[in-house]
Amino acid sequence: MAGKLSGSLLEVAMLLFLIFLLACGCAAMTGWLFPTGEWYKGLHKPDWTPPNWVFPVAWSTLYLLIAFAGARVAAIGGPGATTALAFWALQIAANALWTPTVFGTYRLRLGLGVIVLLWIAVLGAMIAHWRVSTLAGVALLPYLGWVTLAAALNAELIRLNPNERR
């Protein structure tokens, strides 16, 4: 079954897409609950830090791709699909945790631990999705790239702001 998505599965895939998109919406809402405020503004940042407006644009695009990847793998099914979805679940939980950790409690060090876990989860998800569907795997590639950047930014914020001890 792997690798192809027949037309008859398309309706099921659409419903699955909505469920996965709702899950992404939960993670996205943490960004709205804990916006980058004065604390983040006052931090020393590396000169390659993306401007603030880039983050919601990037995440909106990524969440659509993430929901697409999950729905495609779930609709195709077959061996490996459930392992891929276990990693999908882990990445969305770690994703939803990172923003409250950093922008809700200002814990950069714990945030780095969370985003390393997220990075591992996304890598695992990408590999496992790729085995079921090349397209689903490719759809997670920008996510891995972005989380790599975000993890590097988190690490740099720790290095550049030694007085931020949490």
The helix or strand, by DSSP H or E, that contains position 151, with its residue range, turns out to be: helix 141-160
Shortest distance in whole angstroms from residue 156 CB to a second copy: 23
Nearer to a second copy, 46 or 104 (CB): 104
> Of 81, 74, 83, whose CA–CA distance to 23 is shortest?
74
Nearer to a second copy, 15 or 160 (CB): 15
> Of 76, 53, 71, whose CA–CA distance to 140 is shortest?
71
Shortest distance in whole angstroms from residue 115 CB to a second copy: 12
Whole-angstrom CA distances from 43 to 59, 109, 164 are 22, 14, 9
Q: Which residues bind a second copy (CB under 8 A)?
A: 12, 16, 19-20, 22-24, 26-27, 29-30, 33-34, 70-71, 73-75, 77, 79, 81-83, 85-90, 92-94, 96-97, 100-101, 104-105, 107, 114, 117, 121, 124
